[in-house]
Amino acid sequence: MYNWDSGPPKPSSKLLDQCVQILLTDEDIERKNKTVPWRVRHWAIQNCKSFVYMEEQEVSDVSYQWDYIYAFYFGNEKDANWFELKWK
């Protein structure tokens, strides 16, 4: 579907539990912002120093509204808020 850039391996769940999580849907990324998920990830890497990780969850079999949900993890709330203002 995409030219996917998987990036680094997934951090431990203990680390991710300490992070601020922002959820975006495929509708947020593709329809509202007219882009693809890996570009959003690259934007977060370049503009948010505390960006930790992004993961994708396919939900089309349980959701009529969305096909994918993307979780973006940040080390501090300031970067998470900046990211959310830009992409949500």
Q: What is the pLDDT of residues 58-82, one digit of tens each?
A: 898 888 788 889 999 999 999 999 9
Q: If you average pLDDT over every residue of the chain, what do you get? A: 89
Look up the pTM and report it.
0.87
Query: What are the residue boundaries of the structural domains of the chain, listed by start?
Result: 13-87
Span 13-87 CATH architecture? 2-Layer Sandwich (3.30)
SS3 77: helix
Question: What Å distances lie between residue 25 and 7, 13, 59, 71, 80, CA to CA?
Answer: 19, 21, 10, 9, 16
Both structure tokens of 79: 């970067």
